[in-house]
Structure 1
Amino acid sequence: MKPYLKTTPTREGFFGEYGGAMLPPPLVPHFEEIAAAYDKLSKSAEYMNDLRYIRKHFQGRPTPISYLKNLSDMAGGAQIYAKREDLNHTGAHKLNHCMAEGLMAKYMGKTKLIAETGAGQHGVALATAAAYFGMECEIHMGEVDMAKEAPNVVRMKLLGATVVPVTFGAKTLKEAVDSAFGSYMEQADKALFGIGSVVGPHPFPMMVRDFQKVVGIEAREQFIEMTGELPDVVAACVGGGSNAMGLFSGFFDDEGVELFGVEPGGTSSKLGDHAATLTYGVDGDIHGFRTKMLVDDAGEPAPVNTLASGLDYPGVGPEHAHLQKTGRVNYTVADDKESLQAFYDLSRHEGIIPALESAHALAFALREAKNHMGKSILINLSGRGDKDIDFVAETYGFGE
């Protein structure tokens, strides 16, 4: 049997029945150019050496794994560990693919990077890459998210990016994607669209996964070095799903390791109160690819709700839909209340302030620890919570 990552997706970008590239005709040659560039550069020693240098000397990789002893004792049962992507430069996993995309753009002769952002972490990371490579940067962000994640808006502007407020629809991540795609169509000759997750038309779900798999490769080696064995359970939050795909990539071929994706349960299971696409969604097409998505009565993308801006997307990466269908990954939810409590708990008892997105994975670990007595749970702490502290303090206070 060939390793999973060597056989998935197909050349056309399908993960089983999900994925592909459904594009307006003017964009087809540009995405074909990106796919051809990735095929070449991913096998290029020069490109990979440049990327490894950046990861080590600019990003600060490898990031460590931390044993969360205090929370493990509180939860009872399993021992909880965290892969510390919050210690990656800019404070989240996003820089792993943004620096790689920026380096690709440089090799391709592009002069500008364009993207959407939800919580702002991807926007900050792409703005950082643009500054590093001497490129222009244009970030589209919903007005609702701009208000919730004001520190990241400031960071993007300080890094030299033009932040475009998105004022239509729900004014969150889906609309930011729509807006960014529209702008990219007019500038595709000189710009690269740095999609912020394992979503979008082929080749982006594959590319972003491959750029993020450094997280899983590191984590697997580090966990064995720390404990002498593999973790029993590996978990990560899932919105679009890039941090989860990065961590899961290190363990796909380890049959004894259970993989869990944790979706945002919001405030209830009612449509419009959550963003749990895999738990409650149906097959459909969104933003140029086929996946599972949340739809309203008219069959349009449904409104979503979660306290974590980076998870408020009515679709999900096509590979996640495939992994759910094949049963290799289990998907569950953590709601706003338990995720917020996990945010407070990690801050108070471990001295680590997590991103609200990452707190969903921690909430799962705290909830499930008692059901895995004598076992280990490794979560991806995908980002730090600097961006969320004003919103949490003003909206919810400082916890008990």
Structure 2
Amino acid sequence: MSQHPNEKAYFGKFGGQFVPETAMFALIELEKAYEEAKKDITFQEELTYLLKNYVGRETPLYYAKNLSEYYHHDIYLKREDLNHTGAHKINNALGQVLLAKRMGKKKVIAETGAGQHGVATATAAALLGLECEVYMGSVDIERQKLNVFRMELLGAKVIAVEEGLKTLKEATTAAIQSWVGEIETVFYVIGSAVGPHPYPKMVKDFQSVIGKEAKQQIEALGKYADHVIACVGGGSNAIGIFSAFLDDSTTKLYGVEAGGYGIDTDMHAATLSLGREGIIHGMKTYVLQNQYGQISPVHSISAGLDYPGVGPEHAYLFETKKATYAPITDKEAMDALLLITRKEGIIPAIESAHALAYLEKLCPTLSKDRPETIIVNVSGRGDKDMHTVFSILKGEKYE
């Protein structure tokens, strides 16, 4: 059975609200506003209208014929890459910015790694008339220049973070610090299923549209999903598609982490593979950390997966063995990106390529007696990654 947060905001022993006392009133205010909005027909109708007519939902569940022939199993791709702004992030950003407007906030802030959540938040803020600031590590700014320009074009202010590794963890820390400093007037739009309660539950709810659609679509074909695969950094696209299948004993769930240069090196972001319990960004979860409890440096070719923590519900699903989590290296992800591009004419985001790469590990283990049905969540499109892909194919060094 799936588990919902109890009164202390936990999934099993993971989750909670590990924040300064000054932030607690904002979390209480947010939870109250969100619970009211869920019951507000006007709010729900506006969100549904925007998801359909602005985002372009529902997204197709595409039968990848060429990939299916290649792997000898039935491969279906949930095409979140076809959403407005290019990824699943817009589902959650629209929901949260709409909630911010309902609460009377005038400004939203966000963190971003790959830039897709930043673009989605800037897009929703432009649509709904709110001021927007986005915190982004300077390393990610360099490798995601196109998305930085898109955010600025949409009217957002992109704030470079120069601390630490200058990637997603540091951007998240900076955004939280900014939020605490302006907590009475600012709404913090968290992009993944992480952070203090109610964020993991709220993000899951806004992203659950992916799983609801996918399940209805596969069942409309007279089939059920044997396997569902999604990449996991913080874990929003994964928990979104997993949510509809958590109570299905016949469906196996796979979360794919960033293996970087390999989990036998220090250059990876495989939190559930090698992490241990800890506190990060207001939640108790699995964290990559050293023997003294200090957060470890992480690496991934994908700017959206190099995060040293993971959403608390994923930690719970991992411990209860409801889902399987495995690492995929940078090279394996790039090989998968090239394969789907040349087999199906679809260029996925490098994050999504990690999920697609897991087909190489899963399919050889499956029975050859009948084709099994596999859904892979293509969480975003690869436009944003062309600079990185170009550099790698030309043999240049990347960071």
TM-score (norm 2): 0.96
Partner of residue 361, structure 2: 367
Secondary structure of 2:392's aligned partner: helix
| 1:391 and 2:385 correspond | no
Which residue of 61, 68, 79 corresponds with 1:65?
A: 61
Matching residue's letter, 2:223 = E
**Equivalent residue runs for 1:170-249 within 5 Å:** 170-226=165-221, 228-249=222-243
Once the two structures are TM-superposed, the CA of residue 233 in structure 1 deviates from its matched residue by 0.4
Once the two structures are TM-superposed, the CA of residue 39 in structure 1 deviates from its matched residue by 1.0
| 1:308 and 2:264 correspond | no
Once the two structures are TM-superposed, the CA of residue 32 in structure 1 deviates from its matched residue by 0.6
Partner of residue 43, structure 1: 39
**Equivalent residue runs for 1:207-356 within 5 Å:** 207-226=202-221, 228-270=222-264, 272-356=266-350
Which residue of 3, 24, 29 corresponds with 2:25?
A: 29
Q: Deviations over 1:233-269 (max 9, x none)?
A: 0010000000000000111111100011111111121
Once the two structures are TM-superposed, the CA of residue 271 in structure 1 deviates from its matched residue by 5.2
Once the two structures are TM-superposed, the CA of residue 357 in structure 1 deviates from its matched residue by 0.3
Equivalent-residue separation in structure 1 for 2:224 and 2:235 (angstroms): 22
Q: Deviations over 1:14-62 (max 9, x none)?
A: 0000000011111110111001111111121111111101111111000
Equivalent-residue separation in structure 2 for 1:272 and 1:169 (angstroms): 16
Once the two structures are TM-superposed, the CA of residue 270 in structure 1 deviates from its matched residue by 3.3
Secondary structure of 1:240's aligned partner: coil
Secondary structure of 1:246's aligned partner: helix
Partner of residue 85, structure 2: 90
Q: Deviations over 1:106-155 (max 9, x none)?
A: 11000111010000000000000100100000000001111111111011
Matching residue's letter, 1:269 = I
Secondary structure of 1:331's aligned partner: strand
Equivalent-residue separation in structure 2 for 1:356 and 1:395 (angstroms): 12
Secondary structure of 1:249's aligned partner: helix
Once the two structures are TM-superposed, the CA of residue 393 in structure 1 deviates from its matched residue by 0.3
Equivalent-residue separation in structure 2 for 1:86 and 1:36 (angstroms): 32
Matching residue's letter, 2:26 = H
Asked whether the 8 Å contact 1:271–1:302 carries over to 2, the reply is no
Once the two structures are TM-superposed, the CA of residue 298 in structure 1 deviates from its matched residue by 2.7
Equivalent-residue separation in structure 2 for 1:364 and 1:342 (angstroms): 9
The farther-off stretch of 135-144 and 270-279 is 270-279
Partner of residue 75, structure 2: 80
Equivalent-residue separation in structure 2 for 1:211 and 1:46 (angstroms): 16
Stretches of structure 1 that go unaligned for 5 or more consecutive residues are none
Once the two structures are TM-superposed, the CA of residue 230 in structure 1 deviates from its matched residue by 0.8
Equivalent-residue separation in structure 2 for 1:229 and 1:71 (angstroms): 18
Once the two structures are TM-superposed, the CA of residue 101 in structure 1 deviates from its matched residue by 0.2
Partner of residue 380, structure 1: 377
Once the two structures are TM-superposed, the CA of residue 382 in structure 1 deviates from its matched residue by 0.2
Once the two structures are TM-superposed, the CA of residue 12 in structure 1 deviates from its matched residue by 2.2
Matching residue's letter, 2:29 = E
For these two proteins, the number of residue pairs brought into alignment is 393
Secondary structure of 2:353's aligned partner: helix
Stretches of structure 2 that go unaligned for 5 or more consecutive residues are none
Equivalent-residue separation in structure 2 for 1:271 and 1:113 (angstroms): 38
Asked whether the 8 Å contact 1:234–1:378 carries over to 2, the reply is yes
Secondary structure of 2:245's aligned partner: coil
The farther-off stretch of 297-306 and 381-390 is 297-306
Equivalent-residue separation in structure 2 for 1:174 and 1:308 (angstroms): 14
Equivalent-residue separation in structure 2 for 1:340 and 1:18 (angstroms): 33
Partner of residue 101, structure 1: 96
Asked whether the 8 Å contact 1:79–1:369 carries over to 2, the reply is no
Equivalent-residue separation in structure 1 for 2:195 and 2:378 (angstroms): 24
Partner of residue 141, structure 2: 146
Equivalent-residue separation in structure 2 for 1:124 and 1:397 (angstroms): 28
Equivalent-residue separation in structure 2 for 1:9 and 1:78 (angstroms): 36
Q: Deviations over 1:326-367 (max 9, x none)?
A: 111111111111110111111111111000000000000233
The farther-off stretch of 134-143 and 363-372 is 363-372
Equivalent-residue separation in structure 1 for 2:206 and 2:284 (angstroms): 22
Which residue of 9, 32, 52 corresponds with 2:48?
A: 52
Once the two structures are TM-superposed, the CA of residue 371 in structure 1 deviates from its matched residue by 2.1
Once the two structures are TM-superposed, the CA of residue 283 in structure 1 deviates from its matched residue by 0.3
